[in-house]
Structure 1
Amino acid sequence: MKHRPEEAVDTSRAYRRSALLLLTLVYIFNFVDRQVLNILAEAIKHDLALSDTQLGIVTGLAFALFYSLLGVPIARFAERADRPRLIAIALSVWSLFTLLCGAAGSFTQMLICRLGVGIGEAGGVPPSHSLIAEFSPKARRAVALAIFSTGLPLGSFIGLGFGGILGDALGWRWTFAVAGAPGLLIAVVVMLVLKEPRRTFPLLTSAAPAEPLRASLASFLSTSTYRWTVAGGALQAVVLYGTGAFLAPFFLRAHGPELAALAAGLGLKANGFLGLAFGVTVGLAGAVGTFLGGWLGDRFHGASLKSYVTVPALAGWLSIPAFLVVFCAHDLATAFLALGFANAMINAYFGPMHATCQGVAGASRRATVSAVTLVIVNLVGLGLGPPLVGMISDHARNAMAMESKDALRLALVAISAVSLPAGLAFWRARASIDADTVS
């Protein structure tokens, strides 16, 4: 069903910028909490006696289950609730459970803590997407959502870079405490600074009852554009999260002596040096790719919106040979250079994907479409990516008698190839995106 186009909320430029920056800061700490676990994975695996499969579960599936299951109910609530307050509460919950991760003494306890982090983070992104889409002009929406999405690579930069150094200095348990504490303070700032537009602009508040969930879902799930775009995003997330969860273990296993020598020359330990290197090649390069993906989508769409799905398709395909170099290179310099390029490409889909989904859904369903998109993308990407890498690695080591580093290399090369069907799915959405976009 088509709806008339709806203009974005007309707030001041200064407020739009400050609100976007604050929401991006919240999203940064969303990923600081995730990436700290990834950079400390080998130490946690050793202390808690985990297999690669169990490591994949606590870094992916445990978080994805509750993050995904609660996303839609929270988003439905956000359509008519005070979204800044909801974001602040969610931030407080996931920050508290991040603190508790440092007290875990077993696989089960770490699993429970990661479930708690997922519960909190389920309430962060959908209301944020809804607010950003509401106060951003339509012609700038992909850039605004791309700027917000830079929270992922910037959070990765902080979580990986400082997480590695703090892990070496304080141990992994205290590092979780340091990572979780700032979120509790930022939650207070969110409560004080962000405004709920429905209070400021009464025309946004309708006395009509909320649209039934089935009708809301049908409005965008029935479109070919939404289905193909989200399929592409979900498959791309398999690569993003599958490789991301095991980068630190792979580099420590495959390049351990070289890492130790380089780190010693800088007065660091291997994990601290690796965290800083990942901060640049995963975090900063990913931020550049995320912003460029949104900017290119807006820059080239003109009368057609095809660029919103063309950009992530091409970028994903370019990441495949780059990841092959990362995992097969014999020297660290080549591997790190290729990793920077690969991560720029693999992150380019965020802004265009979310802008496409927001445009297909319409203004009254912004939080709902964001939540449904995140449910699908995270259940597939986080739920399958890290566990699949872990299972392939364990199988190659146990059934094929491969060395640990070679087994993990095989698993990572295999998972990076999923960008091929991901790009095909994005490309398929080109045929319908102009007809399906309503706002």
Structure 2
Amino acid sequence: MCINPFRLIGVGLSVWTLATIGCGFSVDFWSITICRMLVGVGEASYIGLAAPLIVENAPVSQRTLWLGIFHISVPAGVAIGDVYGGLVGSGLGWRYAFFGEAILMLPFAILGYVMKPLQMKGMSNAKIIPWFLNEEFSKKDYSYVSYTLNQLSRFGQDMKALLSEKVYVVNVLGYIVYNFVFGVYSYWGLKVGYNIYQVDNIDLLFGGIISVGGIVGTIGGSLILDRINSTIPNAFKLLSIAIFFGAIFCFSAFCFSNIYVFLVLILIGEILVDASQGPVNLVCLNSVKPSLRPLAMAISTVSIHIFGDDKVDNWRTSILISTSILFLAAGIWFIGIFLHSVDRYEEDSEQPDMSHLLESEVANGDITSALL
């Protein structure tokens, strides 16, 4: 299909901006909860589109690095957001922190509407006509219900094709286990710091470690994979080795009562485990047909949050057991080395025949252009 991906990103960021403004005007728990849910809807618009666009337009020798730089936005954004929220919240009030975010995002939302479209691999060059503008559909009493059922059927076919890709499934399983560990870290990390090391500013120390480890690890892992040739087997090798040794350092960190030893070991561990960000997303994109890349990224993101985020009631048990589970993630990705894999980066597959949804010209084409 030829829907402009930047337009879809712009729509999502517009929803994000409005929802963030809504957070600033919230009056109780449920109002801010609903607005936060809408923020997630806005984010979803570019989760599945940004990564495929990046990997398809990056130089072949720097594909992983470009993806890695994109994913640095998570630790960097968390660190900057903590500082920004603290400064604005303490100075002007927490509502203004949300309003400021919305203002900062607005130019990017506008850019989504005005940027020149890029043709993504696997997308048809034919023009998609909304069902309610297509004369053929009206002649055949084509209804919105029929259109919806057709879309659900296509989604089911795409999901079946996606789940038949063994390399993709193994990669996502490893990613789920990986995120389970860091879900526990985010829930209990500060409590561990306060109880073991009795450090008042442990939140700043943890924030610094996460930021530095995330940036250095993500860039380092991406550069290494590009250097050794960014194939799927090499990505699995890097994933399994980095996570295995990262687990050793992270587990060892919690075995020492000295705060300085802990900080050094946990920083090294963070760098190693964060080296996975570029490779794991490269495998997600290159192990499936180009037409399935947006769906592959979306399902990967949904899976790691549904099955990966969790907590256990006892913090000591949580930290030690969860850190050990990193070895399971390393093992799953190690299996991926031996799977038969086809790197589909160079493919330019087309979507299934959609002639029943397409029409070369429409009398009110201006309306169509405004919607696409």
* Superposition deviation, residue 308 in structure 1: 0.6
Q: 1:226 to 1:242 in 2, by over 3 A?
A: same
Partners of 2:187 and 2:214 lie apart in 1 by 15
Residue 145 of structure 2 corresponds to residue 217 of structure 1:
no
Q: Which amino acid aligns with 1:349?
A: S
Per the alignment, residue 149 of structure 1 pairs with 71
Instruction: Choose the corresponding residue for 2:219, options 262, 278, 291.
Output: 291
Residue 241 of structure 2 corresponds to residue 314 of structure 1:
yes
- Greater mean alpha carbon deviation, residues 212-221 or residues 128-137: 212-221
* Superposition deviation, residue 428 in structure 1: 0.7
* Superposition deviation, residue 432 in structure 1: 1.8
Residues 3-402 of structure 1 aligned to structure 2 (within 5 Å): 80-101=2-23, 107-167=29-89, 169=91, 172=94, 174-192=96-114, 194-198=115-119, 205-207=124-126, 212-252=154-194, 255=197, 258-259=199-200, 270=201, 274-275=203-204, 277-301=205-229, 305-327=232-254, 329-381=256-308, 385=309, 388-389=310-311, 392-393=312-313, 396=314
Per the alignment, residue 142 of structure 2 pairs with none
Q: Deviations over 1:240-297 (max 9, x none)?
A: 33313443454356555x32xxxxxxxxxx4xx834x344311132011112222222
Per the alignment, residue 436 of structure 1 pairs with 342
Partners of 2:37 and 2:3 lie apart in 1 by 24
Partners of 2:170 and 2:162 lie apart in 1 by 12
Q: 1:412 to 1:139 in 2, by over 3 A?
A: same
* Superposition deviation, residue 320 in structure 1: 2.2
Residue 350 of structure 2 corresponds to residue 423 of structure 1:
no
- Greater mean alpha carbon deviation, residues 358-367 or residues 177-186: 177-186
Partners of 2:318 and 2:27 lie apart in 1 by 28
TM-score by length of 1: 0.64
Once superposed, what is the RMSD of the aligned Cα atoms?
3.2
- Greater mean alpha carbon deviation, residues 286-295 or residues 313-322: 313-322
Q: 1:117 to 1:217 in 2, by over 3 A?
A: same
* Superposition deviation, residue 353 in structure 1: 1.5
Q: Which amino acid aligns with 1:437?
A: D
**Runs of 5+ in structure 2 lacking a partner?**
129-150, 346-372
Partners of 2:187 and 2:39 lie apart in 1 by 16
Q: 1:415 to 1:227 in 2, by over 3 A?
A: same
* Superposition deviation, residue 92 in structure 1: 3.0
Q: Which amino acid aligns with 2:245?
A: L
Q: Which amino acid aligns with 1:341?
A: I
Q: 1:202 to 1:177 in 2, by over 3 A?
A: closer
Q: Which amino acid aligns with 1:287?
A: I
Partners of 1:169 and 1:330 lie apart in 2 by 37
Partners of 1:118 and 1:100 lie apart in 2 by 13
Residue 333 of structure 2 corresponds to residue 414 of structure 1:
no
Answer whether contact 2:8 2:112 (CA < 8 A) is retained: no
Q: 1:203 to 1:285 in 2, by over 3 A?
A: closer
- Three-state SS of the structure 1 residue aligned to 2:15 is helix
**Runs of 5+ in structure 1 lacking a partner?**
1-78, 260-269, 397-407
Answer whether contact 1:233 1:349 (CA < 8 A) is retained: no
Q: 1:130 to 1:325 in 2, by over 3 A?
A: same
Answer whether contact 1:94 1:120 (CA < 8 A) is retained: yes
Partners of 2:95 and 2:248 lie apart in 1 by 37
Partners of 1:419 and 1:98 lie apart in 2 by 35
State how many pairs are aligned. 322
Answer whether contact 2:165 2:288 (CA < 8 A) is retained: no
* Superposition deviation, residue 225 in structure 1: 1.0
Percent of aligned pairs sharing the same letter: 23
